[in-house]
Amino acid sequence: MLIAQLSDPHIDATRPEKAAAFARAVAHVQALPMRPDAVLITGDCTDHGQADEYDTFAALTAPLDMPVYVIPGNHDDRAAMLARYGHLGTGHLDGFLQYVVDDLPVRVIGLDTLLPGQGAGELDSARLDWLDARLSEQPQRPTLIFMHHPPLLSGLDIMDSIGLRGTQQLCDVVLQHPHVARVVAGHVHMALTAGFGNSTVMTCPGTDTTFQPDLSRPEILIVQYQPPLCLLHAWSEKTGLVSFTRVIDQTPWSVLHDGQGWMG
């Protein structure tokens, strides 16, 4: 079984280069030598949550001939996404785009961390109780959780100030369910891996811009273009869940914001 992950396309009607970058990412996934069984897009599908941006996003994902699963990021609009994607999966939590994908060898659970009007994300008790109940249903099956805000600290002040509220409570839930093989997310526009309870959290960089960590200056955020990445989460009885990082294309490196101001 193979699950491809893309993140943070930030479709913006005024910035056609973002749509072009996402189109290249979709074409890359569609042309992979190993055909994915599903594609996860871990939020910030659009930059402003507007209807025309979702129209573009939907048109750009249309070439994918396998199931595509989405959850909202902080730039998205929950109501707009529920209207378009509320049918995805099973076991929905009312009022949120949270659901289970149950027809793959690995059980996949999408979490909705959107906190309207804020960059930070949240998992409140309703969303966490729902997760605990879903995880309790099939304790023998390896399970992958996907969400927008990762439950980790990057060390970069700006990103950590808009991180996930409820990380410790989520960790407490995951610790009760050792079949959580992986937690995957987006939001930080970097490829990060960290321990999380007895599991592992990984982030997929955006198909759009990437943040360059400079931990000697944690107060700044360097924004750049660089070759974008997708993640491939492969599972077999023999290997368990193994995640690969794959370069989408050779977008040249260029700094857009050096931590002091925008270039050019």
**Which spans of this chain sit near Fe ion (rule: CB under 5 A)?**
8, 44
Q: How far is the CB of 149 from Fe ion (least distance, A)?
A: 10
- Min dist CB 15 to Fe ion, Å, is 13
Sign of torsion over alpha carbons 220, 195, 22, 44: negative
Supply the minimum distance, in Å, between the C-beta of residue 8 and Fe ion.
4
Please identify, using beta-carbon distances, which residue of 28 and 47 lies nearer to Fe ion.
47
Query: What's the closest the beta carbon of residue 43 comes to Fe ion, in angstroms?
Result: 7
Q: Which is nearer to Fe ion, 7 or 143 (CB)?
A: 7
Q: Nearest distance from residue 121's CB to Fe ion, in Å?
A: 11
Please say which residue, 44 or 112, places its beta carbon nearer to Fe ion: 44
Residue 60 structure tokens: 């750009």
How far CA 187 is from CA of 72, 75, 131, 148, in Å, comes to 10, 10, 21, 6
Residue 228: C-alpha distances to residues 9, 33, 210 (Å):
11, 18, 8
Closest CA to 166 of 204, 109, 218, 114: 114
The residue number with the shortest CB distance to Fe ion is 44
CA distance 127 to 47: 24
- Of 183 and 185, the one with the shorter C-beta distance to Fe ion is 185
Query: At a CB cut-off of 8 Å and minimum separation 6, what does 67 contact?
Result: 37, 38, 39, 101
